[in-house]
Amino acid sequence: MSLDNFIKKHASNWMKEGKGEYSDIVISSRIRLARNIDNIPFPQLADQNQQKQVEKMVSETIDNKDHYRFLLMSSLSYEDRLTLVEKHLISPTLINESKYSGVWLNNEETVSIMINEEDHIRIQVVLPSLNLEEGLQVADEIDNLIESKLEYGFDEQKGYLTACPTNLGTGLRASVMVHLPALVLTKQINRVLTAVSQLGLAVRGIYGEGSESLGNILQISNQVTLGQSETEIIDNLRRVSKQIIDHELNSRKYLMEENKVALLDKVYRAYGILSNAYTITSKEALELLSYVKLGVDLELLDGINPHFFKELIVITRPGFLQKLYGQQLSSEVRDIKRAEVIREVLQKK
């Protein structure tokens, strides 16, 4: 199978080039709702029979099963589970969960319904660009359907009961994944992120809590789920995200007007290395891809497939590379194959 066909077959919808609001800076928007079935212990305390019961009960609520497929974690190889994390379809936590942990995925891979993760049910919607409201609407529709058939754990004061107290209330975690290379180059990123944290939002790496920032990509999400409505959470995140986007746009303008030679050097050095390297680590690849993406956004580079960035931040990861080549690869071989894939993608016109 050619690389083109492989990407088309395995790409989630959010990985395709977004045409929504601020699509050059906002990679994706994610909505996640945490829910638990009443009178069944949380997954960490439930025995296997109870976890199996949860999996069966949730599966029976899924309508239009032709539009969904169920993946049981215990039936997948580690590489396949890792690929699902790299595509942002499941959380890193779900990889090592119980025998009855799994995920329902829709055909477009915009909806993930995780079973027996930290909570019994985690409904996730991931869309390209800044699409928080649409994502919440989709998640709420699925949530209402499941709740019409199952009784959730709920308290009048605490809201939806969750395994982690920080998710009490709405159980909603909303986030935007943003690409902020100009803020990094102008050394404004720490100032901006400090201000973000003071507004009640969390800043995390590319794979969420506990992950590092790679490729100048960060996830901005709400920290408070109790005492605010879903709409208030979304509105606040959108407002702050727009402020961050404005700072990034202003930094890009400054670089173009005041430091264009240094910017061109950064962009073309990155492009030169990626176009010619025969071995490259994941971390270095993401950093260099970030600056090539900036060059494309600012029209300093042309003739590059506009989809390249979202594709490459996923397919150059360890699990996806091994799926592409159909075998386990040592880290040294992955570095060689990663460089090969990058060269091929960047050469596409």
Q: Which domains, and CATH codes, for the chain? A: 8-252 (3.30.590.10), 259-347 (no CATH)
The mean pLDDT value for 45-60 works out to: 95
Q: How far apart are the first and last CA of the chain?
A: 19
Annotated binding site: 28-32, 88, 122, 173-177, 204-209
What's the mean pLDDT when you consider all of the chain? 91
Annotated binding site for ATP: 28-32, 88, 122, 173-177, 204-209
Sign of CA dihedral 225, 227, 233, 237: negative
Task: Tell the burial category of 292 from Cβ atoms under 10 Å away from its Cβ (0-12, 13-18, 19+).
Answer: buried
pLDDT for 302 beyond 90: no
pLDDT tier at 209 (50, 70, 90 boundaries)?
low
Q: Which pLDDT belongs to residue 45? A: 93
Q: Do 109 and 96 touch, CB atoms closer than 8 A?
A: no
CA atoms within 13 A on the CB side of 103: 29
68's tokens: 């969904």
Q: Which pLDDT belongs to residue 67? A: 92
What strands lie across the sheet with 102-106, from one edge to the other?
Answer: 68-72, 102-106, 111-115, 121-128, 26-35, 172-179, 217-222, 201-204
Q: Measure the CA–CA gap between 61 and 47, rounded to whole angstroms.
A: 22
